[in-house]
Amino acid sequence: MNIKTLVKGAITVTKSNFGQHSLPTTKNKLWVLMYHRILPKDDPRASLEEPGMIVTPDTLNMHITELKKLFEIVDLEDWLNRFKLGEKLPPKACAITFDDGWLDNYEYALPILKAHQAPATLFAVANKIGTCFRFWPNIVIELIAMGAHNQLRLHPMFEQATQLAKHAFSAESAAECIKQLKKYSEDEIYTALNSIEWQESFNQSRPALMDWQQLNEMQASGLVNTGSHTCSHRRLNKELSESALQQEVVESRRILQQKLGTEINLFCFPNGDYNEQAINLTKQNYLAAVTTQRGINSAQRLKTHEIHRTALHNDISDTPSKFRARLAGW
């Protein structure tokens, strides 16, 4: 064991034992956890996903077990309503959130939530539920993993992906490629992918996202509250037109309310991207919105439409000590 590993371990232990989560407080703090995919390590879908997107079912179960020792686990919307009404709040509260509407959330997360009777919020991409839609990062990763360099080289946007596809697959390298591609808009990326006819290379028999029946079942459990994650997962930045912004923020709420028969009051910014116009529009249509900015929320300084979250994936949180260190807030 080298010095770097020893130092890293010591820091983890310190953060685990002395972070804000471990201290008594009366300051009404709110931790909001951000999850994406819940997949066993041996699930074939896990090998074609960015490492920072996955938590295993065992790890999620351990997380909730630890949370119950540290916090009052709350429904995010319920906590926000209590905050808005000036009601008494728990000193240390934690809300669980899942982004996108992945089928594996229904398969693996829901049974764990039921076992613990733990509430959660699922942010669904309204126009993609119940379809064979694939997010562009997953398309690019799978093309790289397949070694489809001849196909990728048909469009200059995928030059880096083309080079990666010529070598042994590495999820970390593919994730770096995804990061570089984010300089383009979703519309530009999907247009480029369609130009190389990516669909011909894929077996789309198993959907990536859940369908409406499954989402309704999660909602009907009494544990899962649904929020909007836009219509199509386009990033809400300056590149997006005003009409497109309206579609993503306002229309997504209407669709979800119609399909689920319930009020949709929470919003989640795709990729954590937003501008002033997006903030203003969410304020007009939603009780609150969550970001990808890391941090612990305080009722005394809360920005209801820029709520901070703590992102989690397996590599950084697969032991109780590492998980608690992630919650430390410093």
Residue 82, in any domain of the structure: yes
Predicted pLDDT of residue 109: 99
81, pLDDT greater than 80: yes
Q: Say what percent of the chain tops pLDDT 90.
A: 81
Q: Are residues 112 and 175 in the same domain?
A: no
Residue 16, in any domain of the structure: no
Looking at residues 67-93, what average pLDDT do you find?
97
Q: Quick one: which of 259, 263, 236, 261 has its CA closest to 249?
A: 236
Q: Are residues 195 and 217 in the same domain?
A: no
Q: Are residues 73 and 115 in the same domain?
A: yes
Is residue 53 within 8 A of residue 36, CB to CB? The reply is: yes
Q: Are residues 175 and 228 in the same domain?
A: no
Looking at residues 182-187, what average pLDDT do you find?
94
Final residue belonging to a domain, choices 147, 178, 201: 201
Q: Are residues 117 and 55 in the same domain?
A: yes
Q: Are residues 66 and 105 in the same domain?
A: yes
23, pLDDT greater than 70: no
Predicted pLDDT of residue 19: 67
Final residue belonging to a domain, choices 201, 232, 247: 201
Residue 242, in any domain of the structure: yes
Final residue belonging to a domain, choices 179, 201, 223: 201
Confidence class for position 199, pLDDT limits 50, 70, 90: confident
Domain that holds residue 33: 26-90+98-132+205-326
Q: Quick one: which of 74, 77, 119 has its CA closest to 223?
A: 119
Q: Are residues 79 and 170 in the same domain?
A: no
**Chain centroid to CA 109: how far?**
13
Is residue 160 within 8 A of residue 180, CB to CB? The reply is: yes
**Chain centroid to CA 85: how far?**
28
Question: How many domains, in total, are found in the chain?
Answer: 2
Predicted pLDDT of residue 7: 46
Q: What is the CATH number of the domain that holds 304?
A: 3.20.20.370
